[in-house]
């Protein structure tokens, strides 16, 4: 371990996202020397620890106990414990509860160090071949309707490369929502990274949506999507069918917005002109 002060400390240990050989020497050494290993799912992590013959007490640290358990672990670190945090896969604190424990440790004056290693978003971005000079990581899109719509609407004007995590059973819906809002553009569908059946498919958003409509997505996915083109002006309303536009307006009117307001809001969400939406839905 890289600390011999005798003080308690938190070690963020990155673990493989699919290929066990991706674990680092330093992570193995740290896990072996820890007093406690805090794991997101102990049943899952025991397999990893057994594989490397690591026998250190484990405790669970997950979404539902992230505040209470953080306080308990901080108490132990204050008494000198070395706590190694691992999550189900990849780098702790990236789209998982590790961020809360890390934040609380800083606020309590507990030393934290990060042992870098596998991370699905960086693996996907590098593999995609899509512009990596500037990017935004969205993690998982919200499932709650209103905030999801807002996040996707904000993404329509995003010029940087966009990276999104998605579970297989939500992939179809997410690709369909993204295609409707962002229009057709290039992307990489990255699946089962570092595993035996790793795939990276460069295609357009529409092709990805059609591909997923035609099969049952399985495995783990990262979407890497090209940012909005600097040169393009407002999207042509012709890209959206009357049915899709009407459904979007209805979503807002059902929430209590008046019809004109709803059309304005949909125009802003989609980056199309208000007049065109009006013409398509009313004048026809």
Q: State in angstroms the smallest separation of the CB of 119 from ligand SAM.
A: 4
Site for ligand SAM in 95-124 (CB under 6 A): 95-96, 119-121
The strand order across the sheet containing 9-13 reads 58-60, 36-39, 82-86, 9-13, 111-115
Is the Cβ of residue 164 or residue 263 nearer to ligand SAM in the bound state?
164
Work out whether 135 is an interface residue with ligand SAM (CB under 6 A): no
- Residue 156: φ, ψ to 5°: -60, -30
Residue nearest to ligand SAM (CB): 90
Q: State in angstroms the smallest separation of the CB of 194 from ligand SAM.
A: 6
Helix axes 171-182, 145-155, angle to 10 degrees: 50
Using an 8 Å Cβ cutoff, are 173 and 209 in contact?
A: no
Provide the 8-state DSSP code for 63. G
Using an 8 Å Cβ cutoff, are 41 and 60 in contact?
A: yes
Work out whether 240 is an interface residue with ligand SAM (CB under 6 A): no
Work out whether 17 is an interface residue with ligand SAM (CB under 6 A): yes
Identify the sign of the CA torsion 51, 53, 59, 65.
negative
Stretch of residues binding ligand SAM (CB under 6 A), selected from 82-90, 243-251, 260-268, 274-282: 82-90
Residue of 36, 37, 89, 263 that binds ligand SAM (CB under 6 A): 89
CA dihedral 30, 31, 34, 38 (to 10 degrees): 130
Q: State in angstroms the smallest separation of the CB of 72 from ligand SAM.
A: 22
Residue of 30, 45, 91, 161 that binds ligand SAM (CB under 6 A): 91
Using an 8 Å Cβ cutoff, are 200 and 190 in contact?
A: yes
Is the Cβ of residue 177 or residue 192 nearer to ligand SAM in the bound state?
192
Site for ligand SAM in 175-214 (CB under 6 A): 190, 192-195
CA distances from 168 to 43, 222, 261 (A): 22, 10, 35
Q: State in angstroms the smallest separation of the CB of 157 from ligand SAM.
A: 24
Binding site for ligand SAM (CB under 6 A): 17-18, 87, 89-91, 94-96, 119-121, 165-167, 190, 192-195, 220-222
């Amino acid at each position: 371990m890289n600390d011999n002060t005798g003080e308690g400390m938190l070690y963020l240990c990155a673990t493989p996202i699919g290929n066990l050989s991706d674990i680092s020497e330093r992570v193995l050494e740290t896990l072996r020397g820890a007093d406690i290993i805090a794991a997101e799912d102990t049943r899952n992590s025991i397999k990893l620890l057994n594989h490397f013959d690591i026998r250190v007490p484990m405790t669970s640290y997950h979404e539902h106990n992230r505040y209470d358990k953080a306080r308990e672990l901080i108490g132990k670190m204050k008494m000198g414990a070395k706590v190694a945090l691992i999550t189900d896969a990849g780098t702790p604190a990236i789209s998982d509860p590790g961020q809360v424990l890390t934040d609380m440790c800083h606020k309590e004056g507990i030393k934290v160090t990060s042992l870098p290693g596998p991370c699905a978003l960086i693996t996907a971005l590098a593999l995609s071949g899509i512009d990596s000079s500037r990017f935004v990581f969205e993690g998982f899109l919200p499932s709650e309707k209103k905030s999801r719509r807002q996040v996707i609407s904000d993404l329509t004007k995003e010029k940087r490369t966009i990276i999104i995590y998605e579970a297989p059973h939500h992939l179809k819906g997410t690709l369909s929502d993204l295609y409707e809002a962002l229009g057709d553009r290039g992307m990489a569908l990255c699946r089962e990274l570092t595993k035996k059946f790793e795939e990276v498919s460069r295609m357009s958003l529409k092709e990805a949506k059609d591909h997923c409509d035609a099969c049952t997505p399985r495995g783990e996915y990262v979407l890497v999507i090209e940012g909005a083109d600097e040169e393009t002006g407002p999207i042509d309303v012709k890209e959206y069918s009357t049915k899709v536009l009407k459904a979007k307006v209805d979503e807002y009117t059902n929430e209590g917005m008046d019809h004109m307001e709803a059309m304005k809001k949909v125009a802003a969400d989609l980056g199309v002109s208000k007049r065109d939406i009006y013409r398509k839905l009313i004048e026809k």
